[in-house]
Homo-oligomer: A and B are copies of this chain.
Amino acid sequence: MSKKLTKRSEDYSKWYNELVVKADLAENSAVRGCMVIKPYGYAIWEKMQKALDEMFKETGHENAYFPLLVPKSLFEAEEKNAEGFAKECAVVTHYRLKNNPEKEGKLMVDPHAKLEEELVIRPTSEAIIWNTYKGWIQSYRDLPLLINQWANVMRWEMRTRLFLRTAEFLWQEGHTAHATKAEAVTEATKMQEVYADFAENFMAMPVVKGVKTESERFAGALDTYTIEALMQDGKALQAGTSHFLGQNFAEAFDVKFANKEGKQEHVWATSWGVSTRLIGGLIMTHSDDHGLVLPPKLAPIQVVIVPIYRGQEQLEVISEKAREIVKELKSKGISVKFDNRDTHKPGWKFAEYELKGVPLRIAMGPRDLENGTLELARRDTLEKNSVPQEGISDRIATLLEEIQENLFVKAKNYRDEHITSVDTFDAFKEALDTKGGFVLAHWDGTEETEDRIKEITKATIRCIALDAENEEGVCVFSGKPSSKRVLFAKAY
């Protein structure tokens, strides 16, 4: 297979699909809409999980595990949530296969093993979890209940794309229960903050923190807090959401607690999640026509060393030095790979690690050994420099930080240049068509206007930014009064 990628400027979507496969991140499977996450892609997910899991634990959350399957009667208990997900539910109806008497060696569903009640594969776990919380919560002493789950979920999407939208995906879902509304709202915004922190400081992906309009809310939520990122093609990506669920699930599942005065009250709830979709966002924030560009904090391999040699003797001398460097880097907690395979040429390896987004590449040949130097190449800028071997691990530690910072600044500059403030609908459409990105415009607050704008331009309201300033104006579409600009964009 050729490793040559389609250019982003030619066909961004094709570039993305090719890159995911060629960089060995993921591929489509035999099951419609479900992906195989390959080891290199999964290693990125593991790095994300580790960082997020630590952040969740630092903010007082514990992990648990709830069943994959949800009885239909529980699933339908919270009506809005059920309505929102019903069309995407994979349904288990039978619990046994048997030999097909008409086709030797083939199996068929055993009609005698039909379930009395159908089971839905969780599209999200509010229903099964709140049904469980009913048994866990009696008194204010049992609150807050701060639980997270790492799990697979299934949403039968019709159009799927690797990482961005798949029928099955991996995610974490936090589900918390609180004694007061204020506490639950604080929790929901705190987790939005955690997500923003992770996106910016680990993924080097700048995000806007905001709140969703009613029509874009999670089914069953009273408010959905979101972090919205901007991809290189000018489309937005919803990267994480945190929901204030009010008392909807507590009412649906009758979860009450005795407050300090002994009075029974319904519990207040939040839920929040990020998924393997983040890997799609990571790719589309930083990568280029040569392949992946990974921020050092999430790169499975941070440094690769490629020896340049003729014959076994040269390789042995170089290897000795390389192993010293590997040891030094590892002692600093830097992940490093020494690729001494003799099955591939250095040029092939250079292209391979470029494609895979390894932040720093060291090349070492016989002349380097003589001069006490090595060649150091940065993946983000593609700069190459000959540098002394002496003090290399300190230099690399500093450079990795610099690359992490540089990627964020670059992405933030791009994002900031692609927020256009407009005051007329013509300017709105022009900004979307010519420049893409976020469009900041006044909106009259009605779902009708929101829908019309979407019909005409395909842009949706990504969020009302938390830091949006009050500003009197008129809706770009209806001309009605508005007190704040909201953030529109076409989105993934």
- Report the minimal beta-carbon distance from A140 to chain B, rounded to whole angstroms: 10
- Our pick among B36, B63, B67, B90 for the contact of A64 (Cβ within 8 Å) is B36
- Our pick among B68, B95, B109, B120 for the contact of A34 (Cβ within 8 Å) is B68
A414 located at the interface, meaning its Cβ lies under 8 Å from any Cβ of chain B in the complex: no
Cα(A67)–Cα(B90), bound, Å = 14
**Once the chains bind, are B67 and A39 in contact (CB under 8 Å)?**
no
Q: Which residues of B contact A79 (CB under 8 A)?
A: 105
Q: A30-B74, A31-B71, A82-B97 are in contact. List 18 more A-B contacts (CB 8 A).
A: A29-B67, A29-B128, A29-B132, A30-B71, A30-B131, A36-B66, A38-B64, A39-B64, A45-B65, A68-B154, A68-B168, A76-B107, A87-B98, A89-B95, A90-B95, A91-B93, A95-B156, A121-B121
Total contacting residues, chain A, CB less than 8 A: 65
Cα(A43)–Cα(B29), bound, Å = 32
> Which residue of the partner chain B has the closest CB to A132?
B36
**Once the chains bind, are B90 and A69 in contact (CB under 8 Å)?**
yes
Copies in the complex: 2
22 CB contacts below 8 A, A to B, read: A29-B66, A29-B128, A31-B69, A31-B70, A36-B64, A39-B147, A42-B65, A43-B62, A72-B97, A75-B107, A76-B106, A82-B107, A86-B97, A89-B95, A89-B96, A90-B119, A91-B95, A91-B97, A92-B121, A93-B93, A95-B156, A141-B343
> Which residue of the partner chain B has the closest CB to A153?
B68
**Interface residue ranges of A83-135 to B (CB < 8 Å):** 86-99, 105-107, 109, 118-121, 128, 131-132, 135
A293 located at the interface, meaning its Cβ lies under 8 Å from any Cβ of chain B in the complex: no
Cα(A191)–Cα(B95), bound, Å = 32
